Amino acid sequence: MVERISSGISGLDEITHGGFVFPSVVYLLGEPGTGKTTFGMQFLVEGARKNEKGMYVTTIGDPEKIVLQPMKRFSFFEERYFYDGSIIYEDLSVILEAKQSSNEQTNKYNGSVYAIVEELKNMVQEHSPKRIVIDSITPLSLRSRNLSEYRSALYDLFASMRRWNSVVIVVGEARGKEIRSEQYLADAVVHLGYYTRGIETLKFIRVLKMREVAHDTHIHTLTISRAGISLSPFPAIGFGGMMQGWE
């Protein structure tokens, strides 16, 4: 029997028929402002309530207080989990910055994207979290010297994540119809975005992929309220041609 853990997102466990497969790697992609960070936080807090250790990894260098402050408006959020050890906050931006100043570029593990992968492995080994959010993977691709280096590090990272005995949510950007390497490597792919209905612009969520299990592949309207992210149990209608390329 396939083990599952709850996403913490209202309505999502229903369309995935039981939550995320444990362990697995989930690629969460979306346009700006669609709720990717909120999704990740809601997932981690759900775990903390169940005594499942979590780890939030930022790659953009925002101080912990800056990331957590917007979350305080949500009723699901409990800041104490970040101070009692339930959720570990880690910042990889120092390693990312070191890449640019390193003078020993001949050693691929010195200040490079490979060093980031190695540091992530060390963090997981130290904390043994059951839930992990990496927010986001985009700086790794932007700071790699070339596409070949990024893909090599990416394969290494995803291979490692599958051995972590965790559900790992990797946050990334949606770029139109482009199918990225992360989508092929991940066990599950969840897409957040926008669609139009008449004069309205609404948010949507769609589970594009989940290995091992059946799941709902319809587009569902996503709402961000004081309670956090929730989604309609019924498929969205009236999105016209906005979803072409995701069918």
Q: Check residues 163 and 103 and name the one with the higher pLDDT.
A: 163
Which residue, 13, 17, 64, 11, is CA-closest to 41? 64
Strand ranges for the chain from DSSP E: 4-5, 20-21, 24-30, 54-58, 87-91, 131-135, 167-173, 188-197, 200-210, 220-225, 228-235
Tell me: the pLDDT tens digits for 15-61? 999 999 999 999 999 999 999 999 999 999 999 999 999 999 998 87
CA 199 to chain centre: 30
Q: Residue 97: what pLDDT?
A: 66
Phi, psi dihedrals of residue 202, rounded to the nearest 5°: -115, 160
Asked if residue 181 has pLDDT above 90, the reply is no
Extract long-range pairs of 109-118: CB within 8 Å, 24+ residues apart: 112/145, 112/149, 113/140, 113/143, 113/144, 113/149, 113/150, 113/153, 114/153, 114/156, 116/59, 116/92, 116/140, 116/153, 117/153, 117/156, 117/157, 117/160
Q: How far apart are CA 145 and CA 77, in angstroms?
A: 38
Pairing mode, if any, of strands 24-30 and 167-173? parallel
Asked if residue 236 has pLDDT above 90, the reply is no
Residue 145 CA: distances (Å) to CA of 61, 83, 94, 113, 140: 20, 37, 17, 9, 10
Q: Tokens for 41?
A: 């936080």
| Contacts (Cβ under 8 Å, ≥6 apart) of 92 | 57, 58, 59, 116, 119, 120
CATH superfamily, domain at 4-191: P-loop containing nucleotide triphosphate hydrolases (3.40.50.300)
CB atoms within 10 A of CB 200: 8
Which residue, 161, 6, 133, 14, is CA-closest to 71? 133
Tell me: the pLDDT tens digits for 185-234? 999 999 999 988 788 889 999 999 999 899 999 999 999 999 999 998 88
Band of pLDDT at residue 237, cut at 50, 70 and 90: low
Tell me: the pLDDT tens digits for 121-153? 999 999 999 999 999 888 777 767 777 888 888
